[in-house]
Amino acid sequence: MLDEQEHPALADILERMRVVALPLHTRFRGQTVRELALIEGPEGWTEFSPFPEYDDVESAAWLRAALEFGWRPAPPLVRTSIPVNATLPAVPAADVERVLAHYDGCRTVKVKVAERGQTLVDDVDRIARVRELVGPEGRIRLDANGGWNLDEAEHAVHRLAEFDLEYLEQPCASVDELAELRRRIGYLGIPVAADESVRKADDPLAVARAGAADLLVVKAQPLGGLRRALAVVAEAGLPAVISSALESSVGIALGAHLAAALPELPYDCGLATVDLFETDVVAPARSLRARGGSITVERPVPDAGLLERLRPALAREQWWRDRVTRVHALL
């Protein structure tokens, strides 16, 4: 175990690290294959998986989170399973049923909207199909990833309100836009959630201080780890939805431990993205896929055969080793 300010030596990390490339059954964030690095720490396996376009400075928080989870004991947990939502990429309405079939027992669906190159009509068709499939008791939340400007978001909310939305995640990019949109649509009773305004912000608490969100979407890796994420939620004083960043079961375990450590968990969490992969790094029986609408809180151990089968080309392995080397120097 390390002291709070210590980090394991680079050579130790690289010796313990394995790189994998996981194919997706549905394109997500423009990707059909997700590369990530797995590291076996003294406390268990951990994951470093910032997206390829993230620079080294932004990726440093992700490495801090990975090393904390692999080298330090987790904080006390108050639950052993986490209810999760299905995540639906911006697919055509005709593909909705196929994608949702991968999620076992999920009562909530997060629908991606405002996809570049698509229109509001595409979003309406997709959401209408989801509502048809989940029925009146199912929960639908939308995620725009900041893809609308203020007026577009207001127009979209009025058009989509008929589908009985649980909340609207990051409809606009800036905190000021979120605050103004929340003021404009308050009478509709649709909460506004902040994601990028938390995980990609220099000050993740600014959105709460500005009264720009009703709840926070929190990801452990971008915030720098379990303890940092717990502190942000506590100081913000807002309900939190714990979410993932398209991670393997090893990375999902970090998010599950965060969700399990929160005193309250009022929303289903976005921790079922393993269901977007064709395969996982652990044996199927141990994969943190949704089962009955929940995932368990545990530390999965990658399967040696899968680690070997999912290895990318040597050039990509070296790319990740070089990336970890650069980012480690910034810690």
Where would I find the beta strands (DSSP E) of 29-158?
A: 31-41, 44-48, 81-83, 86-88, 108-112, 139-143
Q: Which amino acid is at 65?
A: A
- Number of domain units in the chain: 2
Domain containing residue 50: CATH number: 3.30.390.10
- Residue among 219, 227, 257, 289 flagged as catalytic: 219
For residue 94, is it within any domain?
Answer: yes
pLDDT of residue 146: 97
- Residue among 112, 199, 323, 328 flagged as catalytic: 112
Instruction: Establish whether 169 is an annotated binding residue.
Output: yes
Q: What does the pLDDT profile of the chain (331 residues) look like in tens digits?
A: 555 568 999 999 999 999 999 999 988 878 899 999 999 999 999 999 999 999 999 999 999 999 999 999 999 999 999 999 999 999 999 999 999 999 999 999 999 999 999 999 999 999 999 999 999 999 999 999 999 999 999 999 999 999 999 999 999 999 999 999 999 999 999 999 999 999 999 899 999 999 999 999 999 999 999 999 999 999 999 999 999 989 999 999 999 999 999 999 999 999 999 999 999 999 999 999 999 999 999 999 999 999 999 999 999 999 999 999 999 999 9
Instruction: Establish whether 195 is an annotated binding residue.
Output: yes
Q: Domain range holding 317?
A: 10-73+305-328
pLDDT tens digit string along 75-96? Answer: 999 999 999 999 999 999 999 9
For residue 168, is it within any domain?
Answer: yes
For residue 68, is it within any domain?
Answer: yes
142/130 Cα distance (integer angstroms) = 11
- CA distances to 142, 154, 168, 199, 262 from 181, in Å: 15, 7, 11, 20, 29
> Does residue 219 have an active-site annotation?
yes
Instruction: Establish whether 268 is an annotated binding residue.
Output: no
Same domain, 98 and 206: yes
243/68 Cα distance (integer angstroms) = 18
- CA distances to 45, 101, 141, 189 from 131, in Å: 38, 14, 11, 19
